[in-house]
Chains A and B, each alone.
Chain A
């Protein structure tokens, strides 16, 4: 909208402290969606460059997995994917018109569940990396 003066970020992300649950759910869903798309392309790039044979494939994967940074990124990837799935289910219910009055609670629930799953996964992902 054309502004007769510039109120700047004050109207949008400058107000992030005042965002409500639904708004945060939307922001996180967008963010995790873009991260997953970014991951998809790296995934394709890595796999397609290691397809010359079993040896190259194994050495590429082992080389990547030996990096502590990659292990940490995998934890992050799991967090992003789990949140996106859980919030996606929440949005499915929102689209079906089920339980809209507790949409904020279901957002918090998906956040908590994501946290639990991610924390539980840390030993598996990080073992042997450090």
Chain B
């Protein structure tokens, strides 16, 4: 209030010290500013259909953001808009500190698995039109949150690597350039398991993996399946793989809740593969001949 008093004083003095032209210029300038402000306000008011996003926010490193909370964003809806598109809009237009992983935007890189409306989904694969609003976006459950929607993936990658997720044949061809061909039937058998994009949705949805940190988890077992079923590797590697698969925290932890199969964005029949490996393990250990 104290700053306003001298202002009014100077305004009263101004007309006497300025020419009519300067006064008109000042009025014109004021009108222009007013018009621009109106236009900006109109632009802020979104025309057409909108979608309400409720996004989980958490940042342990910034004071005042350590408490997890939900922020609401109203984003203009476009036909074909995905959850990732909406998040990108919210980040670019409203809050540049909104943090989430994304890369290819076409369900190939596996970076943007979120917990959307109570289910693990890929942001880039989930159509806003298919969801009931407001769309609630959270980081993957059962994983440590680093910031906002970014979760710690180290444990998931450790489990994936523990099953030797690479082709490792007992014998390599004599000629360095000779191909190791897989027959068509065998390729068909492992085809679905090769689709995995390491997004971690299945592991996050698994109730057993949540309570047992040593459990390999659906993705790692699926990876083990992919190579165990590959006929080109040879008997030695097959036995090694089986030992990993049938270990205490391997396939037998699965209790067939089908959560992983339900959330897998690539539609891999994970429970099928786990069950088949269980039968393999039994067959190898029950031999009466």
Binding site for B on A (CB under 8 A): 1-5, 7, 10-12, 15, 17-18, 20-23, 25-26, 91, 94-97, 100-101, 103-104
Contacts and interface: CB of A to CB of B under 8 A. Distances in A.
A100 B269 contact: yes
Nearest to B204: A11
A25 B257 CA distance: 7
Nearest to B155: A1
A22 B257 contact: yes
Q: Which of B145, B155, B213, B258 has the most CB of A within 10 A?
A: B258
Contacts of A11: 141-142, 210
9 contacts: A1-B144, A1-B213, A5-B68, A7-B68, A22-B271, A23-B258, A96-B279, A97-B276, A100-B271
A100 B275 contact: yes
A21 B256 contact: no
Contacts of B271: 22, 94, 100, 103
A94 B275 contact: yes
A22 B118 contact: no
A26 B255 contact: yes
Contacts of A17: 118
Contacts of B257: 22-23, 25-26
Given A20-B259, A100-B269, A103-B271, 13 more contacts: A1-B142, A3-B144, A5-B68, A7-B141, A22-B257, A22-B259, A22-B261, A23-B258, A91-B256, A95-B256, A97-B276, A100-B272, A100-B275
B262 A20 contact: yes
Q: Which of B155, B213, B275, B278 has the most CB of A within 10 A?
A: B275
Interface string B111-130: 00000001100000000000
Contacts of B118: 15, 17-18
A8 to B, nearest CB: 10
Interface in B33-88: 58, 60, 66, 68
Interface in B201-223: 207, 210, 213
A108 B244 CA distance: 35
B143 interface: yes
A19 to B, nearest CB: 9
Nearest to A17: B118
A91 B257 CA distance: 10
Q: Which 10 A-B pairs have the closest CB atoms?
A: A22-B258, A18-B118, A11-B141, A26-B257, A22-B257, A4-B144, A23-B257, A20-B262, A94-B256, A100-B272
A128 B142 CA distance: 53
A33 B269 CA distance: 27
Contacts of A12: 207, 210
Contacts of B279: 95-97
Contacts of A91: 256
Contact of B145 (A5, A94, A97, A103): A5
A125 to B, nearest CB: 32
Contacts of B262: 20, 22
A103 B258 contact: yes
A22 B256 contact: yes
A3 B151 CA distance: 11
Interface string B248-270: 00000001111101100000010
Contacts of A23: 207, 257-259
